Structure 1
Amino acid sequence: MDYFASTSFSKLEKMIEKEKGAAIRQKLLVVWHKKRGATERDIEDILLVPRSTVGYLVRKFKKEGIKGFQRKPGSGGHNKYLTKEQEKELQVDLKKQPMPTKEVLVRIAKKYKKQYHPNSIPRLLKRLGQSLITPRKRHYKANPRSG
C-alpha cells in the first residue's frame, strides 16, 4: 500500500505534533516536505539530512507508513552475551585473581565459548563492579629499581 499517496498534509501534521520522539519526528518532517513538493536537495538543505537518507525515508514511508520509522524488536541494542550466572561466576574469578582486559577476553572465549569485542570488555568489567586500571608508560631514563 502506498502510504505516501494516501496520507494527507493535515494527517501528517497531526502525526508530527503528536510524535514525542525527535528521531521519528524528523523522519516525518522529511516526508511532509516531500509531500509539499520540495525536492530531495531542498529537504537536504532544510533539515540537514543526507539526500540518500531523504530518498530512503520516503520509500520506507511509502511502503510501511509510520510503522516503518519505529524501532523493530531484535534490531540490535544492548545484548549481554553472558548469562547472569556466568557473569557472577566471572565476577568471583576476578575477585580471586584480577587480570587485564585482554586476559578477560581470552578467559571468556575459552571458558564460556563466547566472543566479545575487545572494546566491550571495559563495559562488562564496570557492570561487574571492577575498576579498569591501565598501566602507565615508564620513562626510558627512569631507574628500573624505583617502584
Structure 2
Amino acid sequence: MAKLTEKDIISWAGPEEDYMNEDHLAFFKELLNSLQEELLSNANATTNHLQEQVVTPDPADRATLEEEYALELRTRDRERKLLTKIQSALRQIEDGSYGYCKDTDEPIGLKRLLARPTANLSVEAQERREQVKKQFAD
C-alpha cells in the first residue's frame, strides 16, 4: 500500500481490527521521528546561539539579551520534555502498545494521535484524570 498521508489518517474508517495497522504505525513513526529531529535541531541551534557571546556595554541591551536567552532556554526545556514523550511513543510503536490508552487499553483514536502524537490516554481517560486532579486541588 502507498504511504499514508494526514488526509488518509483523518478520513480512515476501516474496521476496528485494522486500527494501528502497519501503515498507521509507519505514518506515526515517521511523524514522531520528524518531530524528534526538529527538536534536536532546535536544541543545537540554541546551543550555538548561546555560545555566541555578544558583549554589549549598554545595560538595557544586556538585559534584553538576557531575557531573550531565558525565554529561549524555557522553550528548549519544554521541548526537552516533549522529546522524552516522543521517545516513549517511539518505544511504544516498537513494543506494539502505541495508539492504545494506558489506563483502559482502548484505542486512543487516529485523529487524537494526529493532533497529539505523544498521547497515551484516550480523551475519556484524560478527562477522568483531570476531574480527579481538580477534585484534589479544591
TM-score (norm 2): 0.26
Q: Report the structure, 1 or 2, having the larger helix content.
A: 2
Max radius of gyration: which structure?
1
TM-score (norm 1): 0.25
